[in-house]
Amino acid sequence: MTKSGPFDLQNRTALVTGAGQGVGRAIAISLAKNGAGAIAVNDVDAERAESVAAEIQAMGVQAAAIVADVTDLDAVRRGVATATDRFGAISILVNNAGNAGAAVFPQLRYFWETDPDQWRRFIDVNLYGVMNCCHAVLPAMIERRYGRVVTIISDSSRNIEPRLSDYAAAKAGAAGFTRGLAADAAAFGITANCISIASLLPGMAPDELKEFLASDRSRRQLSKYAIRRYGRVEDIVGTVLLLCSDASAWTTGQTYPVNGGYSPSL
């Protein structure tokens, strides 16, 4: 059952990319709980997407699995067309798909030890993926003179992070693109903002996680956080809801750090 309130999404259709697990899944479910009329659950993995869509349908909210690689503009366009045919025009886009996409996150190395294949994986997913999805949904948003675009980026784009220069460049590119988009789209009732997140709780088995949290590595990492814990997927959804709702109608072109105080923002 959905609920109404300041973040009520007024029966609008949302597309969440990379929503088959983790942060994307939490966002999709939260949007469904807060008044979205339908959720297009995107993922490169059909089983994951279908599982989350089924969870949302069990809540009494329309949902569909949209299986597409965000780096493929034609596939994204087909997915958006499928969602639009079923639910109507997409009013909310959450660009969550990231990291290295379907590939395994590569071993961290100094930039001069890497090669363009690694850079392209990061740039294709984290920058071109965002651009592809925006390009596919914006015409309908402009026609209807309403839209909310929220892009999940990383604090590595805002801070010094060793051996992550290619990833940081891709995420910083997504932030810059979103600011430019905000300027262009504001006249059409469309807002575009970013949420910058830091390290989330690792997805490990309970015993393995307990050992990791007791390690020197974990203690060193957490010493940099004002709130001395890793983030949880649930920590992200409140800011997403704010930026997807009419409560943020006068907010655009911004980056919101949701990071446990890892890095301040002036």
How far apart are alpha carbons 90 and 147 in whole angstroms?
Answer: 8
Residue 196: pLDDT band (50, 70, 90) is very high
> Residue ranges of the domains in the chain?
13-203+232-255
Catalytic residues, by residue number, are 167
Query: Are the C-beta atoms of residues 205 and 161 closer than 8 Å to each other?
Result: no
> What number of other Cβ atoms are within 10 A of residue 214's Cβ?
9
In this prediction, residues 179-189 reach a mean pLDDT of 98
Residues 6+ apart with CB under 8 A from 247: 6, 7
pLDDT > 90? residue 188: yes
> What is the tens place of the pLDDT at every residue in 222-233?
888 888 888 899
Beta-sheet pairing, 255-258 with 13-16? unpaired
Secondary structure (3-state) at 193: strand
Output Rg (C-alpha) for the chain, integer angstroms: 18
- At the topology level, CATH places domain 13-203+232-255 in Rossmann fold (3.40.50)
Residue 220: pLDDT band (50, 70, 90) is confident
